[in-house]
């Protein structure tokens, strides 16, 4: 059990989803992480304290409970992501908070005590308290595991959309993906299994490969192979060719999963972890007639800001959580005070059994 020393606000001590929050005297201060220039996240991210703001009108005061450190957060701070926030900026796209106070004009279902996630990208979740317009928050169930609530929006959402929106898939159909041990990859495995789909999961080799393969099989992976095993794997060739490939890595790995596609198959690129371009063999385009597509959750959310499809997606994901078919990725809770440790552990490293870093406040 993790005992968290720093919780500024009116929270009494107690157990929340297995995390014990220690009581602290009210400081009346909000602590935020802020960066004033793009660069190495371990150097440019600083701590800032200010008075806890008071919500007015349509505003809501949210106390953050947990926030994820995702690759997009790291890349945004480095200044190499598609979105460049105006500086200074508070990092953090994803997280879950609890409403503690509302302004006089707040309506709908947002009330003190309810749990919320941001509707907006780059909302700045790496802070103890945030003031938001109530319309920019989505209420979520309060009984969901804290790690799941903190990580549900970005990665499971991406997995869900990529499995639903590109190729009509039916029971027994096969999907191939690389970066299968990523948080998105783990969500793909679980959602695909819940939909009755089979998955070929490609990961990089490492000393702990047997443990990693088992970990992914335990959450529903049909086949797990290393990049080097993919072409000659009998387990892979025993399956029908996949009609959908999900590309987290790009570069050579992207080309290898693309080569596995069935005729008229689709490869959806959603990540470039190798920092290499996607290279497509001419034959795949001419003879296999494959289609290349891309997906960006940020754009989808913007285009579906308050669209019923967005609520439907969250309802479906929380239903999978309730049925124990969707669990959070392997993760470590990191006390907010130790944010540098979370950032360091979130930087890409080869040959590790990575864990999603979740800041807890």
Ligand X SMILES: NC(=O)c1ccc[n+]([C@@H]2O[C@H](COP(=O)([O-])OP(=O)(O)OC[C@H]3O[C@@H](n4cnc5c(N)ncnc54)[C@H](OP(=O)(O)O)[C@@H]3O)[C@@H](O)[C@H]2O)c1
Q: Residues 238-257 vs ligand X: string with x where CB under 6 A?
A: ----------xx--------
Give yes or no for residue 350 binding ligand X (CB under 6 A).
yes
Give yes or no for residue 277 binding ligand X (CB under 6 A).
no
Annotated catalytic residue, options 35, 38, 81, 339 = 81
The residue with tokens 């025993």 is 238
- Whether 134 is catalytic is no
Among 184, 224, 258, 317, binds ligand X (CB under 6 A): 184
* Cβ at position 56, least distance to ligand X in Å: 34
Residue 241, number of CB atoms within 10 A of its CB: 15
Give yes or no for residue 270 binding ligand X (CB under 6 A).
yes
Give yes or no for residue 179 binding ligand X (CB under 6 A).
yes
Distance CA 218, CA 197 (A): 15
Query: E strands of the chain, at which residues?
Result: 2-4, 14-16, 19-21, 29-35, 45-51, 59-69, 95-102, 115-118, 129-133, 137-140, 174-178, 198-203, 223-226, 244-247, 266-269, 291-294, 331-335, 356-360
Q: Kindly state the DSSP code that residue 227 receives in the 8-state scheme.
A: T
Instruction: Give 183 or 239: the residue with its C-beta nearer to ligand X.
Output: 183
Q: Kindly state the DSSP code that residue 108 receives in the 8-state scheme.
A: T
* Cβ at position 198, least distance to ligand X in Å: 20
Among 8, 127, 204, 331, binds ligand X (CB under 6 A): 204
Give yes or no for residue 199 binding ligand X (CB under 6 A).
no
Among 9, 41, 55, 71, binds ligand X (CB under 6 A): 71
Distance CA 258, CA 262 (A): 9
Query: E strands of 52-197, at which residues?
Result: 59-69, 95-102, 115-118, 129-133, 137-140, 174-178
Instruction: Give 128 or 269: the residue with its C-beta nearer to ligand X.
Output: 269
Active site members: 81
Binding residues for ligand X (CB under 6 A): 70-72, 154-155, 158, 179, 181-185, 204, 248-249, 270-271, 273-274, 295-297, 348, 350, 354, 356
């Amino acid at each position: 059990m993790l005992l968290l020393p720093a919780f500024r606000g009116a929270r009494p001590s107690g157990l929340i989803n297995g995390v014990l929050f220690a009581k602290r005297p009210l400081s009346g201060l909000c602590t935020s992480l802020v960066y004033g220039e793009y660069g190495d996240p371990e150097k440019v991210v600083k701590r800032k304290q200010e008075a806890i703001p008071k919500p007015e009108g349509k505003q809501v005061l949210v106390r953050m409970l947990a926030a994820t450190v995702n690759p997009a957060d790291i890349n945004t701070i480095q200044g190499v992501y598609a979105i460049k926030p105006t500086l200074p900026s508070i990092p953090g796209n994803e997280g879950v908070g609890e409403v503690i106070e509302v302004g006089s004009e707040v309506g709908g279902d947002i009330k003190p005590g309810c749990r919320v996630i941001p509707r907006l990208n780059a909302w700045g979740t790496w802070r103890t308290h945030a003031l938001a317009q109530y319309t920019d928050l989505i209420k979520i169930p309060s009984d969901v595991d804290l790690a799941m609530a903190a990580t549900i929006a970005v990665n499971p959402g991406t997995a869900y959309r990529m499995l639903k929106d590109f190729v009509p898939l039916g029971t027994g159909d096969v999907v191939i993906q690389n970066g299968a041990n990523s948080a998105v990859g783990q969500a793909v495995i679980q959602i695909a299994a819940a939909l009755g789909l089979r998955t070929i999961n490609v990961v990089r080799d490492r000393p702990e490969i047997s443990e990693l393969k088992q970990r992914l099989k335990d959450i529903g992976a049909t086949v797990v192979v290393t990049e080097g095993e993919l072409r000659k794997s009998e387990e892979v060739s025993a399956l029908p060719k996949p009609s959908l490939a999900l590309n987290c890595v790009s570069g050579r790995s992207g080309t290898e999963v693309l080569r596995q596609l069935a005729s008229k198959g689709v490869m959806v690129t959603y990540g470039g972890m190798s920092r290499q371009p996607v290279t497509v063999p001419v034959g795949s385009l001419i003879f296999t007639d494959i289609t290349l597509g891309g997906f960006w959750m940020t754009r989808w959310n913007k285009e579906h800001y308050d669209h019923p499809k967005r609520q439907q997606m969250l309802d479906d994901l929380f239903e999978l959580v309730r049925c124990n078919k969707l669990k959070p990725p392997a993760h470590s809770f990191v006390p907010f005070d130790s944010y540098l440790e979370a950032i360091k552990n979130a930087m890409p490293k080869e040959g590790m059994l990575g864990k999603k870093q979740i800041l807890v406040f």
